[in-house]
A and B are shown apart, each in its own frame.
Chain A
Amino acid sequence: MTTATSAKQHDSGIRLRAGLRTVLVYLLLLVIAGATVGPFLVMVSASLRPNFSYMTFPISLIPPDPGVDNYIRLFNQTAIGRWIFNSVFVATSVTLLQVTTCSLAGYAFSRGEFPGRDLIFWVFMGTLMVPSTVTIVPLFLILSRLGWVDTYAALIVPAATSIFGTFLLRQFFLTIPRDYDQAALIDGANLLQIYRMVVLPLAKPALATLATLTFLGEWNAFLYPLIVTTKSTMRILTVGLATMVVQEGGAGVQMAGATLTFMPTFLIFLFMQRYVVQGITLSGVKG
């Protein structure tokens, strides 16, 4: 009797503390969210102001005379459909290619033992360490020699692999217990089968993450696509929108463009995070 009561009290004490903790966590989450959402709201708000050219203080999120004028001007650009297509096509192609090539290479670097493995890995890592500010010039010389200026090949092929992605996936594959491979090996699977049937399914969160970040990077790229394409028809959205930005003023359209550019990467993020959650919900079911 007494023990039951005290147990009950103890229980409610735990529940109370858990409840308090939940409230505190949500409070913290909200405070941080305030700091990250603010700028985004300013961008959207500015995009709805036809004459936006400066910030006012205090920042008013509700524009004085809101309207979609900036967006209409944006879509009055005859070429914008083509730019959107190019961006979608290039970013999607690069993402698919990178997820494939990086997972293959990441698998090799995490599981394989072959001559020169560490050396090759570190030579590849060098790619990240040399600033692209300068290497863009020789890269463009090559593309020009290949006749690739103003082609999708120039936008896609050099980005088909990435050491960033390879490294990311390699590190993730390292956390997958090797027992899984060994079991498959005993069943007579070869390397490619293990990669496809064991490693890839377990690595969904990492693959989704790589896809999110690759898409983001390609979608927002500016200097590289600017340099390798000249024709309006080959331009991607960021570069195309930049041709609407005059040297002074007219920032409303710039904000509308930024909002438009932002959307797809955010949708990709939401879509891909499902896979990042998947791992934990699957194992969570058991408990």
Chain B
Amino acid sequence: MSQDKASRRLTRRRLLGTGLAAGGASVLAACGATPTPQTVVETVVVTTEVEKVVEQTVEVEKVVEKEVVVEVTPAPSTLAGEVNVWVFPQGENDLDALWTPLNARFQQEYPGISLNIELLPWGGRREKMLTAYAAGEAPDAAYVNSDTISLFGTNDVLAPLDDVLAQEAWDDLFGDLQAGLIWEGKRLMFPALLIGTGHLYNKGLMSEIGLDPEKPPYTWDELRAAGAASATSGYFLTSWNTMDWANTWVSIVWQAGGTTFSEDMTKALLDTEPAYEALNFAVEMFQNGWVPKEGAVGSDTESSAVSAVNYWIEGRSTLSGWGNPDITTNTRTQAPEIDFGLVPVWMNKRQVCNGGAGCWGVFKGSKAPEATAAWLNWLIQPEQQGFYGSVTKFAPPRRSAWDYWAAEPLPKEFVAMRIDLLEMNQDTTYFWQEGKVICAPYFQAAVLGYQTVEQALAGAQAELQQLVDEFNASRA
């Protein structure tokens, strides 16, 4: 049944990936058969019931191992192999705080698998990943942002996870997340954490500028009114960065009722009304002084942690900038004097927020696909996802993992407020990097007044459409 299908798929993948001898037999199945976990977060009591059918295979260059069919009952798995995983920092000391305890637990269940988690810096992330892949030095699995799915998808470097992970896990995901992780009908990534950014508001400033401190502005019209009131009193409304594709473009254009690309990816849609409205909103923000002007120019680096001035923490901005859930706890420690509340997800025609996620992907070149699959399967179990979320302060993307998510009430509330409004679609799947570097100069021209909104959008549209056409030509 479904196990047979899984087995077939993996075999084919492995044949492609490692160049097995033609006589190679089939590989594992059953990793996908979800264990029914009764594990508790801290006291590790694992009573996993797994049925594993492992058939070792004959590899050309490797030692021929015995063909075994093992029935694994509660005991630790005998699955063997070396799994290399690349991850990126979500906290200051991920290796010690997150991965050492996780690995120890994994190792108890799978003593035969040698697991190497390599923590790499955000800075130079794409350079490192792409260069490694080009030289055949890629890991077995990695933390991959959904921003790279189109690159990986087009080049067929990620192994489909449809059958590696149980359907139950996919169904357990919040809202619409699956949609953004599908490439040509195959699911290439599984979310590790939810990214759903949002704003806080300063209640004191709200009263000061003459607005109701219990009614945070969130519709565009309310935001405009609050922006004008803030500017009059010498404050900012929020902050805005033209290089921030996810927040200041994608979410905004969705809220205006549009998208960047058509669903079938044949058209760029910057020549539509919602795109005009979205960019015009940004222009209003800058030209009325509702946001600090310096945000019009920014760098693309993924490690520039510090802004010159944090107007929110300084109490000079009515709303914070876009933040992750931990903006709540950070504000409390850094500016205890600020009495703040949560702002609902912004809304114009739609109330929606970009749900681009941090994900796990498995590379096709993996020399130990079964072991890697076993690891991933283990890692995305609710208790592991919960623990991951507790340490990283990001929300787990699986519903059932929330029982294991030890977060403070505020960040939890922050996520809960937007969890059903998170969305992923073609805009989050395709051309994340490309879209950003193509459009940012045009957006800058518009907000700085070098071009009108129409001119800027026309220029960006022409370049984006060319990108889409090139892509479709290569796909055909």
- Chain B associates with chain A: yes
Distance (Å) between the CB of B211 and the closest chain A CB?
A: 25
* A245 and B89 contact, Cβ closer than 8 Å, known pairs A226-B121, A227-B128, A231-B118: yes
Among B217-225, B307-315, B396-404, the stretch in contact with A: B307-315
> What 1/0 mask marks residues of chain A from 225 to 264 whose CB sits below 8 Å from any chain B CB?
0110011100000010011111111110110000000000
Q: A245: which B residues are within 8 A, CB to CB?
A: 89, 121-123, 303, 305
| Residue B324 CB within 8 A of the other chain | yes
Which B residues lie within 8 Å of A110 (CB)?
none
Number of interface residues of B (CB under 8 A): 43
Cβ of A144 < 8 Å from any Cβ of B?
Answer: yes
B334 touches A223 (CB 8 A): no
Q: List the A residue with the shortest CB-CB distance to B134.
A: A137
Give A133's nearest chain B residue, CB to CB.
B127
Complex CA gap A239/B125 in Å reads 12
Is B152 an interface position by the 8 A CB rule? no
Within 8 Å CB of B308, what residues of A?
Answer: 54-55
The answer to whether A55 and B306 have CB atoms under 8 Å apart is: yes
Bound-state Cα–Cα, A245 to B131, Å: 22
Whether the Cβ atoms of A136 and B131 lie closer than 8 Å is: yes
Cβ of B379 within 8 Å of any chain A Cβ, yes or no, is: no
- Taking the nearest CB of chain B, how far is it from the CB of A239, in angstroms? 6
Query: How many A residues face the partner with a CB closer than 8 A?
Result: 40
- Is B96 engaged at the interface, CB distance under 8 Å to the other chain? yes
Check B305 against A251 for contact (C-beta < 8 Å).
Answer: yes
Chain B nearest CB from A135 CB (Å) reads 11
Is B15 located at the chain interface by the 8 A CB criterion?
no
On chain B, the residues within 8 Å of A51 by CB distance are: 333-334
A103–B137 CA distance with the chains assembled, in angstroms: 36
Cβ of B313: which chain A residues have Cβ within 8 Å of it? 53-54
Whole-angstrom distance between the Cβ of A241 and the nearest chain B Cβ:
8
Q: Which of A145, A227, A243, A254 contacts B305 (CB 8 A)?
A: A254
CA distance A242 to B119 in the complex (A): 10
A–B Cβ pairs within 8 angstroms, 17 of them: A51-B334, A53-B306, A54-B307, A54-B308, A54-B310, A55-B306, A136-B127, A136-B131, A137-B134, A140-B131, A140-B137, A144-B135, A230-B120, A243-B94, A243-B95, A243-B121, A249-B330
> Which residue numbers of A lie inside 8 Å of B, CB to CB?
51-57, 73, 76-79, 136-137, 140-141, 143-145, 149, 222-223, 226-227, 230-232, 239, 242-251, 253-254
- Give the interface of B toward A (CB within 8 A): 84, 86, 89-96, 116, 118-124, 127-128, 131-132, 134-137, 139, 302-303, 305-310, 313-314, 323-324, 326, 330, 333-334
Q: 17 more A-B contacts (CB under 8 A) besides A51-B334, A245-B305, A246-B92? A: A53-B313, A73-B92, A77-B93, A140-B131, A140-B135, A144-B135, A145-B135, A226-B123, A227-B127, A230-B84, A242-B121, A243-B95, A245-B122, A247-B305, A248-B323, A251-B306, A253-B92
